[in-house]
Amino acid sequence: MHRADQHPSRRMLLNVTGTVVAAGLTAGCTPDSAQRGWPAPAATAAPSPVAPTGWHQAGITLPQPAQGNLLVVVADLGADVAPGQLLAELGRAITALTAGTDPRLLGLEPGDLTVTVGVGPRLVRTADASLPGAADLPRFSLERIAPRAHGGDLLIQICASDAALLSVVAAALLDQAGDRIDERWRQSARRGGNVPLGNGLTAPRNSLGFIDGIVGPHTKAEQERDLWLPGPSAVAGGTLAVLRRMELDLPRFAALTLAEQEAVFGRRRGSGVPLSGGAVVSGPQLGAKTPDGRYLVPANAHVRRANPTVVGVGHMLRRSYNTDDPVPGLLFISFQNDLRTFTATLTHMETTDALLEFTITTASATFLILPGFDRRRPLGSQLFS
């Protein structure tokens, strides 16, 4: 099988990356530059490594806060490919890459590199159609999705503070997979600067200028309730992911007044405080009204339409990453232990959520994020024995 035509080959990616690394070394570290008296760049503390093994995969709740750079690759498996063997190989490659012992890193330090792997509904159904993750994501309105940008068998999520690692690690893992997979689409993205929310929590700003991901399962008890799959044993310790790539109409949103922008979200743009008042991390008081009877949080505000209590679902762990290829947008990723948490929320939003008026979805997929792994329990072995 052949990878999508719009993507460069693995050999090309490796050659380009090696050239870029070499160019950076010769351009920035020559004795000539030192002789000119230019100040050396300030030393920065190296990010702490993140163990790839454990009960849960890394890259979901660890590290905290999440790294600033992300690359997702969505691919299909060949019809005759054994998923278990491929996943076990990817797990071993991930262990070597995060340890810095894989020569395909080209000398780059892994730092806080994480790689998170999920499998799509078709593969889950081949194991057991009754398992969480076996259901496909339905179609929704406000979508313009090409066939190859909907669904998929394999998700590889790569996160790191060092953006240079993303394409290098992707090339290494695709090289490991070889012709057993066929790439559908990929997207690189980045998170905005982290804003303190209180109680040790932070969240980034999105491309629309608002703090994103305030509400979610933050405590261990909340994560056990809403994030991690408790069972069956084949999926215990995993979770369900939804990916949605969206284009944003930034000029039209920017043309709104600040008050109109805040009414779209239901929060203050600068602080993230709900329009009903209170702390940033507190939920909005949806019944609060002005003296003349108007809701402080408008009826079509995003925080009202997407509110878990209003929808009647659990919390999602939401991650939004800013994109600019081919146009400004967001890559939205949510993690939850029940797909209905996402589908019911978006169904509720579709009717009147003011934020959706500025978005169009161009890629969509759902994956079972596999349970964690170690030497005795290879990646995917619980599902594909």
Instruction: For residue 37, tell me if it sits in a domain.
Output: no
- How many C-beta neighbours within 10 Å does residue 66 have? 23
Beta strands, E only, the chain: 69-77, 114-119, 154-160, 181-190, 194-198, 201-204, 239-248, 317-323, 329-336, 359-369
Instruction: For residue 36, tell me if it sits in a domain.
Output: no
Instruction: For residue 132, tell me if it sits in a domain.
Output: yes
Assess contact for 235 and 383: CB atoms under 8 A: yes
pLDDT recorded at residue 14: 40
- Kindly report, residue by residue over 197-254, the tens digit of the pLDDT: 888 889 999 999 999 999 999 999 999 999 999 999 999 999 999 999 999 999 999 9
End-to-end CA distance of the chain: 25
pLDDT recorded at residue 198: 84
Name the nearest CA neighbour of 60 among 319, 290, 305: 319
For residue 297, give every residue at least 6 positions away whose Cβ sits within 8 Å of its Cβ, in sequence order, or none.
266, 274, 275, 276, 284, 285, 286, 288, 303, 304
Domain of 260, CATH number, reads 3.30.70.3420
Name the nearest CA neighbour of 110 among 61, 152, 58: 58
| Separation between Cα atoms, residue 246 and residue 328, nearest integer Å | 9
**Full DSSP string of 286-300:** TT-B-TTS-BSS-TT
- How many domains are contained in the chain? 1
Count of alpha carbons within 13 angstroms of residue 85, beta-carbon side: 9
pTM here is 0.88
pLDDT recorded at residue 46: 87
pLDDT recorded at residue 39: 55
Crossing angle, helix 10-28 and helix 164-177, to 10 degrees? 150
Residue 360 corresponds to which tokens in the numbers above?
Answer: 């169009």
Instruction: For residue 113, tell me if it sits in a domain.
Output: yes
Q: Which amino acid is at 370?
A: L
Instruction: For residue 272, tell me if it sits in a domain.
Output: yes
Instruction: For residue 41, tell me if it sits in a domain.
Output: no
Name the nearest CA neighbour of 63 among 172, 194, 205: 194
Beta strands, E only, 146-304: 154-160, 181-190, 194-198, 201-204, 239-248
pLDDT recorded at residue 282: 82
Assess contact for 128 and 134: CB atoms under 8 A: yes
Count of alpha carbons within 13 angstroms of residue 270, beta-carbon side: 2
Instruction: For residue 180, tell me if it sits in a domain.
Output: yes
Domain that holds residue 130: 10-14+49-369
> Cis omega (within 30 of 0) on the bond before 326?
yes
User: Strand, coil or helix: what is 172?
Assistant: helix
Assess contact for 225 and 357: CB atoms under 8 A: no
Instruction: For residue 294, tell me if it sits in a domain.
Output: yes
Positions of the chain with pLDDT lower than 50, given as ranges: 1-36
